[in-house]
Amino acid sequence: MNGVFDLGGTDGLGPVDPSDSEPVFRAEWEKTVFAMYPACVGAGYFGIDQFRHGTEKMDPATYLSSPYYQHWLHSIEAHVIEIGAIEADELARRTRHYLDNPDAPLPEHSQRQELLDFVDIAVSAGASAARRTSKQPRFTVGDKVRTAHVSPFGHTRLARYIRGKQAVVVAHRGSFIYPDSAGNGLGDAPEHVYTIKFTSEELWGKGFGDPNASVCFDVWDPYVELVDEENGATAWVQGPQVKKKLPPASRRWSRCSSKRG
């Protein structure tokens, strides 16, 4: 889906000016939210791609004006309600209780050692998304490819600013969970991943991109197709959009369009 979370190539947001003493956490509650994420993954509530998609569904104004870990909390809450781990009314009631009684004791809970072990490993070393696939890689280093020019309604890692652009394959990274499938609740469906290199002018246009600069981007196999150098055409075999029922027409038209006022 397209949204304010996809900021690549966006103007007018001001300079990136990180502080030399930037704290890891700005508030105590952020530490708790950080711990909740691997615990929920380890419990099987969601995977990283579903988690990311949850943050993408936030109200745009709230997304841009809220701290980073509020994005995490929004996605966690949405998923635990969706899978039935807690009812929305119960979550609201408990939240209200602790807002009104910040020193109230936390409820008792059992500690599952295997879950604690998973959290320790996930926080310290991460959890690999590498998966085996019987598919063979379709591209090799040096191949000229073009990215899909699409606007999926579901989760995707195909950034807007690289769509419909030509690049060169510079590396094959192996096979990994396919976000466009996993993020939309359709299973891991692993695909090969490549690093492709764009010229700056290909992305931003002549006179705007630095002619001596380039940008590398990791893409999943369905995001790209081979360019026919003889006639400049692109031989599309498959696209990045996982087969999925489209939302109602009223929702589809909610996108900004030059045809609408």
Measured CA to CA in angstroms, residue 121 lies from 26, 126, 188, 214 at distances of: 24, 7, 21, 36
Residue-level pLDDT at 234: 59
Structure pTM?
0.82
Whether 121 has a pLDDT exceeding 90, the answer reads no
pLDDT of 100 over the 70 cut: yes
The CATH homologous superfamily of the domain defined by 28-104+113-125: Nitrile hydratase, beta subunit (1.10.472.20)
pLDDT of residue 233: 55
Both tokens assigned to 70: 């509020």
DSSP assignment of 95-138, as one string?
Answer: HHHHHH-TTSPPPP----HHHHHHHHHHHHH----B---SPPP-
> Residue 230: what pLDDT?
64
Per residue in 31-54, pLDDT tens?
999 989 988 998 899 999 999 999
The residue type found at 173 is R
Q: Are 42 and 116 in contact (CB under 8 A)?
A: no
pLDDT at 109 (0 to 100) = 76
pLDDT of residue 52: 96
Query: pLDDT digits over 154-186, tens only?
Result: 999 999 999 999 999 999 999 999 999 999 999
Mean pLDDT of 250-258: 42
Token pair of 49, please? 């791609």
CB neighbours of 109 closer than 8 A, spacing ≥ 6?
A: none
State residue 117's pLDDT score: 84
The ranges assigned to domains in the chain are 28-104+113-125, 143-226
Question: Which DSSP string corresponds to 8-64?
Answer: TT--SS------TT--S-SSHHHHHHHHHHHHHHHTTS--HHHHHHHHHTS-HHHHH
Return the ∠ at Cα 179 (arms to 144 and 112), rounded to 5°.
Answer: 145
pLDDT of residue 245: 40
- The pLDDT > 90 percentage for the chain reads 65
> Which of 75-84, 101-110, 176-185 has the least mean pLDDT?
101-110
Number of H helices, E strands in the chain: 9, 5
CATH number for the region 143-226 comes to 2.30.30.50
End-to-end CA distance of the chain: 22
The pLDDT value given to residue 176: 98
Across all residues in the chain, what is the average pLDDT? 87
